[in-house]
Amino acid sequence: MKRAPRALRALVTTTTALAVIAAPAAATAAPEEADRAGLQRRLDDVVATGAVGVLAEVRDEHGVWRGTSGVAELGKTREVPTRGRFRAGSITKTFVATVALQLVDEGRLRLEDTVEAWLPGVVPDGDRITVRQLLNHTSGLYDYKDTLTVPPKPEFLDNRWRTWTSTELVRRALANPPTFEPPGSAYAYSNTGYLLLGQIVEEATDRSYGEQIERRIIRPLRLRGTSLPGTFPLIPGPHPHGYVPIQQDGEMDLVDFTVMNPSLFGAGGEMISTTTDLNRFVAALLGGRLLPIDLLEEMRTPGVEDGMYGLGLAWRDTSCGVRVYGNDGDALAYQSWSYSTPDRSRQVTVALTPDFRGDPDDAVDAFLDKAFCG
């Protein structure tokens, strides 16, 4: 699920390649000395403004720094594990998009293919919606998450162990009118589009999107802490606990939501990962190891004028003028950000477990600015 800024989250190759995704000159300017204490203070600020715990990994010209703040579990003193795993939410979409673009490179899929061509009869007017529009959120398809009961309603917990199929969730979305018409004319974030992309990958390969991500990305890059759990409810290995706010008996309580059936997120956000693995993935992507130059350029082309989201890849401008590429995600009880400079000289991944006392977005932004700008 996509992180919803400033609000309670609902549901949620080569040197040439580097030239293609060149950044402003400021992106190559780095702090002369590593201010690791400053990074730690920014992490502490994240906890102070609205998190149970937070962990981060920063890679720059000074080496690798890992830090944590807060606790791994409410009511306990155990520190957040520096190499802990977490639900990565919509960063999953960048993996799905990478696989889809690899299929484009292999001639097994085209960006201008229609949904109808791959999934006949599934989407009304599917002959007007393209794979490209699913990838860059310009399809206009209603977001299925907006059809679900969400926190703080206590009924949300009734579906904690439920197995959702992508077909079922897509049908819930399609019972609603499009967000806009015609497809391609505007931007509206839609998890529904990525459920359909997962189905299209399966049609094109006879393997699930999870199997394709495992074969094409996870194993080649040795992302040992990354998995697509499907319906498996546990997070393997060391990890912080995550919570959701639930209204009970007139009071708002944080309920431990670490263990749950992640089929709720599907191809739009089910992945479990680590800060190290996500930094490695983004570096491989921007470095041309996963896609050729022309498709990297497609990936970083916004779907609408002046947009900040391409084909499964997002970008943001830091306070010092550095444009960084990656994605962020919200998996209800976990929120994460993973970005890199185009030349991969600096990479940052940070993940937190929100406590919903306040909004940690500004503090996370300050941490990212500190890591990228010094």
Residue ranges and CATH numbers for the domains of the chain are 15-373 (3.40.710.10)
The stretch 284-294 carries a mean pLDDT of 98
Residue 185 annotated in active site: no
- Residue 25's pLDDT band (boundaries 50, 70, 90)? very low
Please tell me the pTM assigned to this model. 0.92
pLDDT tens-place string over residues 113-137:
999 999 999 999 999 999 999 999 9
pLDDT at 42 over 60: yes
Residue 250: predicted pLDDT: 87
CA–CA distance, 163 with 371 (Å, rounded to integer)? 39
Q: Is the pLDDT of residue 267 over 90?
A: yes
**CA distances to 38, 240, 248, 360 from 152, in Å:** 35, 21, 9, 18
Dihedral (Cα; 92, 156, 234, 69), 10-degree rounding: 70
Please return the burial class of 77, using the count of CB atoms within 10 Å of its CB with bins 0-12, 13-18 and 19+: exposed
Per-residue confidence (pLDDT) for residue 2, from 0 to 100: 52
Catalytic residue among 69, 90, 190, 273: 90
Say whether pLDDT at 26 is over 70: no
pLDDT digit string, tens, across residues 52-95:
999 999 999 999 999 999 999 999 999 999 999 999 999 999 99
Residue linked to tokens 């431990």 = 256
From the number of C-beta atoms within 10 Å of its C-beta (0-12, 13-18, 19+), residue 190 rates as buried
Which single residue is written with the structure tokens 């819930």?
Answer: 172
pLDDT score recorded for residue 14: 34
Average pLDDT, the chain: 92
Q: Choose the weakest-confidence range: 137-146, 220-229, 232-241, 245-254.
A: 245-254
Nearest residue to 117 via CA among 101, 96, 134, 142: 134
Q: How far is CA 336 from the centre of its chain?
A: 7
The reported pLDDT for the residue numbered 7 is 37
From residue 279, how far is each of 1, 9, 77, 300 by CA, in Å?
A: 20, 24, 28, 18
Residue 215: pLDDT above 50? yes
Quick one: how far is CA 125 from the chain centroid? 28
Rounded to an integer, what distance in angstroms lies between the CA atom of residue 43 and that of residue 79? 13
CA 237 to chain CA centroid, nearest Å = 21
